Structure 1
Amino acid sequence: MNKQDIYIDNMVCDRCILAVRQVVTNLGWRIERLQLGRLTGWPPDGHDEDALVVLGQQLHNLGFRLREGHGGTVSRIKGLIVAYVYNDRADTSHSLSDLISADIGQSYSHLSRMFSQEEGRTIVDFYRIHRIERGKQLLIQTDEPVSAITGRLNYGSAGRFAAVFKQDTGMSPTAFRARGRYVARPLDEL
């Protein structure tokens, strides 16, 4: 049996990890590591190709998608960004670019070019979209001051957060909160 690194699109939260773990375990895979965007493990009974096809079908039924080649790296980058933005316990003492480079083991500039070619947008754009979406959630679902939300989203200042937020939404964070309406968008559609 050959250990495989499998990249999975649309994993955006801890529940996704649980869902993928359930499918993989039910299919008889041995898991070495499972994290957002990536599974490392061994297929059942050494049937690498058949097991991968069945796994892909099962995951597709849940809204996930297997990626191969550079796409797998892109899936991992997306998973890292989602974890960095939405996990309040994430280590944000290092820059996102350093985190991505260290996790994948390649230069950020190379990964950035690969991501842009595959996705048609930059890592920075993907990160910005998720930060703004998380900001919307926090503004509506908490009573935290905008300055605290700014810190949670790793903006250098409340003014910078407000400027980016207004550029994306057409209103200030305070006006958005006062409006009180927000419909969450699925993270895999951002």
Structure 2
Amino acid sequence: MGETFYIKNMVCNRCIASVLDIFGKEDYTVESVELGKVSATAGKKTNKSALASKLKEIGFELIDNETETLVEQIKVKLISKIKSGETEHLFQSLAEEFGKTETALSKLFSKSEGMTLEKYTINLKIEKVKEYIQLGQLNFSEIAYSLNYKNSSHLARQFKTSTGMSMTEYKNLKSWNRKTLDKIV
């Protein structure tokens, strides 16, 4: 049975591929991988500090304490839920999944990241809105509905507050300025 590694900044399938590549080059046999987490068995030539160094070179980080691990798991869950459109009762479902209260999760996240869990979630949603606008497949009302906003006006206000421009202004820019999900905090 191998060791479980928690890795910061794994936010997409390309991240998984990059991490798998590094684990292989560092002589680990990977048993399972998901965003933020790798289970692997060390080979004869493994060196954990070399693994950490190689991961850091491409923007990842091994997590070695319980609080950071939980915060990273929260981020991964939020990214997955927003990507899949599971945004109704988001904080309640997170609390249930992690066996903590919404307040406890929020305090833990704020203390660790210097940003509230709600603000982080809004930032994730705004980046998703930018992606939808860039793809041009949905109108603003459909975007609002897909992210579980009560109405498109609520989304429009939140977008303007976060970006300093309206969604229409952003759409007309054509030189979109999107943040990568690992750079939101």
Q: Same fold (TM over 0.5)?
A: yes
Q: TM-score, normalised by structure 2?
A: 0.85
Deviation at 1:6, TM superposition (A): 2.0
1:38 touches 1:75 (CA, 8 Å); kept in 2? Answer: no
Name the CA shift for 1:99/1:20 in 2 (closer, same or farther; >3 Å).
farther
Name the CA shift for 1:55/1:106 in 2 (closer, same or farther; >3 Å).
farther
- Share of identical aligned residues, percent? 27
SS of alignment partner, residue 39 of structure 2 = strand
Q: TM-score, normalised by structure 1?
A: 0.83
Decide which moves more: 104-113 or 129-138: 104-113
SS of alignment partner, residue 151 of structure 1 = helix
Residue deviations 1:25-65 (CA, integer Å, cap 9, x gap):
332323343222222333335x9xx6432221121121111
Unpaired runs of 5+ in structure 2?
none
2:85 touches 2:147 (CA, 8 Å); kept in 1? Answer: no
Unpaired runs of 5+ in structure 1?
none
CA distance in 1, matches of 2:56, 2:171: 36
Name the CA shift for 1:103/1:68 in 2 (closer, same or farther; >3 Å).
farther
CA distance in 2, matches of 1:31, 1:103: 25
Q: Is 1:20 equivalent to 2:16 in the alignment?
A: no
SS of alignment partner, residue 59 of structure 1 = helix
Name the CA shift for 1:93/1:174 in 2 (closer, same or farther; >3 Å).
closer
Q: Is 1:66 equivalent to 2:62 in the alignment?
A: yes
Tell me what 1:9 maps to.
Answer: 8
Deviation at 1:102, TM superposition (A): 4.3
CA distance in 2, matches of 1:17, 1:120: 27
Deviation at 1:93, TM superposition (A): 6.6
The residue type paired with residue 180 of structure 2 is: P
CA distance in 2, matches of 1:157, 1:16: 34
| 4+ residue segments displaced more than 4 Å | none
CA distance in 2, matches of 1:51, 1:26: 11
Name the CA shift for 1:74/1:93 in 2 (closer, same or farther; >3 Å).
closer
2:87 touches 2:147 (CA, 8 Å); kept in 1? Answer: no
SS of alignment partner, residue 7 of structure 2 = strand
1:84 touches 1:92 (CA, 8 Å); kept in 2? Answer: yes
RMSD (Å) for aligned C-alpha atoms: 2.3
SS of alignment partner, residue 182 of structure 1 = coil
Decide which moves more: 96-105 or 171-180: 96-105
The residue type paired with residue 31 of structure 1 is: V
The residue type paired with residue 68 of structure 1 is: D
Residue deviations 1:127-178 (CA, integer Å, cap 9, x gap):
1111111212211221411011112222222111111111112232223213
CA distance in 2, matches of 1:51, 1:120: 33
Tell me what 1:96 maps to.
Answer: 90
